[in-house]
Homo-oligomer: A and B are copies of this chain.
Amino acid sequence: VIDRGMDERRRIEMLARLLAAEAEDVELGIGDDAAVLAMGSEKLVWTIDEQVEGVHFRRGWLGWSDVGWRSTMAAASDLAAMGALAWCGLASIVLPEDVDDRALEAIGRGQQEASKQLGAPIVGGNLSRGPAFCVSTTFLGRCARPILRSGARAGDGVWLSGRVGLAAAGLKALEQGRADDARLAEAVAVWRRPHARVSDGRTMALVAHAAIDVSDGLARDAGHIADASGVCIVLDEGTLLDERGLRESADALGASAVELALHGGEDYALVAASDVPIPGFRRIGEMRAGRGIILRTASSERAVEPLGFDHFG
């Protein structure tokens, strides 16, 4: 019998079953964007993210300083999704022989730039040899009340901060060797230098019932809110297409703008459920009773599969 393996979600569930344990002051373990720890009246929000050469990026698609920047922002984005202020981080870097000291310095400079932008320094880490470049970045954040994936209610609006689909267009452009195409320049830049929306997360946390960041694609990540909250999420196609640069990039690639918006990852936009408007966010749909994700046009509705990036799919 050939074991086809489990998808990412079932693998995480397996590990969560093995590792589940009660511990003092641990309020939330495996299964959300970050773990939540209690420290007096304050909460600590704690996450780890990995960037692997050949999986998350290829050399030539970006500079080493971009690798440092992206790895830092991607990790911090989970704090934004919980509504936490970024406090500080650690980074563990695995260096193959062919990543030289100049490259390592550029990685450090990218981490420095990103952590300055976040106001959260990298305060330690680890260096190791290895056959392939990887960097694990872990961040601690602080907040009074973390926003989870669960908690959305039927009737809530779906609110978006940032853009969805453009980073995926940039990635496609790089995969196709079209980084020099002026029509795709913005998309490539967005993919290379994403921003963790920590400040928008702080605003969102004042009113949101649930939230997540879009790392694996809007349909997939919004699907996590739908699952955890037990609601159906209706997305309005028009609002997704009404995004600066998305249709132009899709046209240049011969791709579908709506597919990019629904299934493209690595934008690190924030999606929140709220019954009141959130400053800096735009409304892209609503929650209703039911399950799953629905795409709504002026004349029709269709169910959307929670496709998107799955390391083991």
Contacts and interface: CB of A to CB of B under 8 A. Distances in A.
Contacts of A182: none
Contact of A134 (B46, B56, B116, B134): B134
B136 A92 contact: yes
Contact of A35 (B42, B90, B127): B90
Interface residues of A, number: 73
Contacts of A87: 23, 25, 37
Contact of A111 (B18, B108, B128): B18
Given A90-B48, A108-B15, A136-B92, A21 B128 contact: no
A interface SS class: mixed
A11 B101 contact: yes
A110 to B, nearest CB: 10
Nearest to A40: B40
A74 to B, nearest CB: 10
B108 A19 contact: yes
Contacts of A111: 18-19
Nearest to A49: B126
Per CB-CB distance, the 5 closest pairs between chain A and chain B, nearest first, are: A21-B121, A136-B136, A18-B108, A35-B124, A52-B130
11 contacts: A3-B100, A11-B101, A23-B123, A35-B123, A39-B39, A46-B124, A49-B92, A55-B129, A90-B138, A127-B312, A136-B138
